[in-house]
């Protein structure tokens, strides 16, 4: 009888430990990032044939900003929505970002966009880019719609960061669109990055604007990199007009070289 009691007690302890282990394993983890923001377990979406991680994180860069999975969704037509919105409960402005699980190398990157990206508030930034996380100042290829907090500055920016060393190269323009449909493209090779924008969603040369290529000999990244898309607030400042904003990405297409 004593042996039976010991066996039953041992089984009870084993069962209790097993349940605790299972519960711990199934609970989404929260990590603290280098900039101090808490990042919840990744949420993913499917868009344009790829899987993307949706950022859900407390105060963190760029900005710093608050990042919400509720500011990102894919509609019934397969279009990606990115939104900056104000949380009525906390008063915080919540930003949006997605990052591809797949990496991409040499070839053409094309985004077809819906929204008045040429009329964004001076504190709002829309970014379409390659980026190697954790290596700021290197391995980055940007298209950014931003005035960086100053209405006197141009609102359209190309920037390429080097593979190593310091010193990015960039070109800025004042963007004015024919409507709210536009397309943007950059092409990466082992020696250069070339850019071009288009009015509308057709890539007709007659509708193209702002072609630019990195200077000869610039040390471009040769790595395969994730694609990011984000909508955020410069220096974490609220929109000066206090208006929420939503941008729709109809598609992202990569064609390997």
* Tens of pLDDT, residues 89-133: 999 999 999 999 999 999 999 999 999 999 999 999 999 999 999
* Tens of pLDDT, residues 123-182: 999 999 999 999 999 999 999 999 999 999 999 999 999 999 999 999 999 999 999 999
CA distance linking residue 122 with residue 241, whole number of Å: 9
25 in any annotated domain:
no
156 in any annotated domain:
yes
Would you state the pLDDT for residue 18?
A: 30
Q: Please report, to the nearest 10 degrees, the dihedral formed by the alpha carbons of residues 22, 25, 30, 34 taken in order.
A: 150
17 in any annotated domain:
no
* Tens of pLDDT, residues 182-209: 999 999 999 999 999 999 999 999 999 9
CA distance linking residue 91 with residue 82, whole number of Å: 19
The DSSP symbol for 19 reads H
86 in any annotated domain:
yes
26 in any annotated domain:
no
24 in any annotated domain:
no
* Tens of pLDDT, residues 27-62: 233 443 444 455 565 699 999 999 999 999 999 999
Would you state the pLDDT for residue 230?
A: 98
The closest of 174, 52, 183 to 113, measured between CA atoms, is: 183
Residue 246 is part of which domain span? 37-256
Would you state the pLDDT for residue 39?
A: 56
85-116 exposure pattern, b = at least 16 Cβ within 10 A, e = fewer: beeeeeebbbbbbbbbeeebbeebbbbbbbbe
Predicted structure pTM score: 0.85
Q: What is the total count of domains within the chain?
A: 1
Q: What are the φ/ψ torsions at residue 35 (nearest 5 degrees)?
A: -90, 10
Helix, strand and coil content of the chain, in percent to the nearest 5, comes to 15, 45, 40
CATH number at residue 167: 2.60.120.200
């Amino acid at each position: 009888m004593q042996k039976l009691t010991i066996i039953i007690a041992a089984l009870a302890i084993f069962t209790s430990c097993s349940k605790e282990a299972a519960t711990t394993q199934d609970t989404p983890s929260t990590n603290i990032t280098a900039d101090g923001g808490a990042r919840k377990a990744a949420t993913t979406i499917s868009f344009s044939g790829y899987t993307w991680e949706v950022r859900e994180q407390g105060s963190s860069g760029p900005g710093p900003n608050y990042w919400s999975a509720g500011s990102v969704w894919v509609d019934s037509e397969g279009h990606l929505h990115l939104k900056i919105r104000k949380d009525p409960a906390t008063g915080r402005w919540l930003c949006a970002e997605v990052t591809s699980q797949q990496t991409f190398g040499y070839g053409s990157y094309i985004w077809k966009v819906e929204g008045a990206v040429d009329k964004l508030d001076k504190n709002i930034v829309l970014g379409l880019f390659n980026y190697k996380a954790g290596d700021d100042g290197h391995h980055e290829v940007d298209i950014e719609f931003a005035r960086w907090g100053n209405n006197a500055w141009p609102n359209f920016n190309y920037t390429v960061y080097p593979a190593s060393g310091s010193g990015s190269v960039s070109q800025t323009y004042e963007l004015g669109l024919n409507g709210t449909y536009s397309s943007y493209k950059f092409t990466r090779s082992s020696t250069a990055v070339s850019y071009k924008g288009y009015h509308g969603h057709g890539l007709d040369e007659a509708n193209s604007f702002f072609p630019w290529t990195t200077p000869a000999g610039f040390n471009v990244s040769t790595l395969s990199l994730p694609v990011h898309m984000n909508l955020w607030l410069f220096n974490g400042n609220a929109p000066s007009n206090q208006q929420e904003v939503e941008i729709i990405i109809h598609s992202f297409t990569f064609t390997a070289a």
